[in-house]
A and B are shown apart, each in its own frame.
Chain A
């Protein structure tokens, strides 16, 4: 009796359903993995525009701007705007402002996205420390739009078409390198 293999020992299980790295999977192994791949994708699908955003980010990589890190701060707003947060589920409610903070070394840029007319988006931004900054808005297939920050570090784009976009921030005096936000979906 003492020699009876423990059924849950790895080696014993493998003995029965061994996978030889150089061998072939049996048909059920392959089918289970294929099904699993479909479930993995269905349970946590890749965001639909992630590929397009990545492709646009690659085209901006030539700008030699350091990537800023983003923190998405829509969670604190959700408590204040319960109804809007609830409406978010249907994805058709652009009424809620979204705030994103980007950081790189000592520079912090916060932007707030809110609806503009005609389904477009207004971007209000604030950079700290408040040096003179040029802020470029890059969008796929569109000309770059540049605005300057005011003395308090504020800047805005009044009416921007929805879609993928990235901001590139440069100091007006040419000091320091350029930094860019990740490509975001407006």
Chain B
């Protein structure tokens, strides 16, 4: 569905999702074939990156969280009970590590601001949750409208739509589990979020998206 996936070599059969390929990669890794795991790292790192960044983790820390998530996968390769759910395992592991990183960051900030010589006029900024896109990125008016319309949605809807835009549709259930939305409601929740976005977009004018 995204440009990055289109660029992948066509090693997967039609109908295989990212979640399927993750399961295959883990199974093959257990059998001593590491190649599929390398391909999975290439393919799934963007989804992990944006999952971690959505938790408010700053840039440098997010890189380490993604990296440690992959290390955790190979360390736990033999103990993951359900290879089919390995994508969910990755997303949950990344998200938990992201929360931990945010919590640590806040603790550090708190300690720092409690120092007597710390200037109250210069509080350390919290990591930017929504980096402001510069004009270079949003060259087209259509993109600006899309991005601004997204910002008008509730935070959870924004997170959900960003992540599902990066995934294959049958994998939504893993994303729902990872971001704590009730299983089974992801489709309709996503539908509501997408519908809201479409409504806002339609109010902005008549654009052709297809």
Judged by a CB distance under 8 angstroms, whether A86 is at the interface is no
A38 to B45 CA separation, bound complex (whole angstroms): 15
| B150:A50 contact, CB within 8 angstroms | no
| B192:A34 contact, CB within 8 angstroms | no
Given A39-B146, A43-B137: 5 more A-B contacts, CB < 8 Å: A14-B192, A19-B187, A21-B191, A39-B143, A54-B70
CB nearest neighbor in B for A35: B146
Chain A neighbourhood of B124, CB < 8 A: 75
Tell me the number of A-to-B contacts counted with CB atoms below 8 Å: 157
Interface size on B, residues (CB 8 A): 59
A 23-57 to B, binary, CB cutoff 8 A, 1 in contact else 0? 00101111111111111111110110011011101
| A37:B2 contact, CB within 8 angstroms | yes
Q: Name B's A-contacting residues (CB within 8 A).
A: 1-4, 37-38, 41-42, 45-46, 49-50, 53, 59-61, 63-64, 66-68, 70-71, 74-75, 104, 108, 124, 131, 133, 137-138, 142-143, 146-147, 150, 161-162, 164-166, 169, 172, 186-188, 190-192, 194-199, 201, 209-210
Partner of A33, one of B60, B161, B199: B161
Q: How far is the CB of B45 from the nearest CB of chain A, in Å? A: 5
CB nearest neighbor in B for A10: B192
| A28:B210 contact, CB within 8 angstroms | yes
Q: Name A's B-contacting residues (CB within 8 A).
A: 10, 13-14, 16-22, 25, 27-44, 46-47, 50-51, 53-55, 57-58, 60-61, 67, 69-72, 75, 182-183
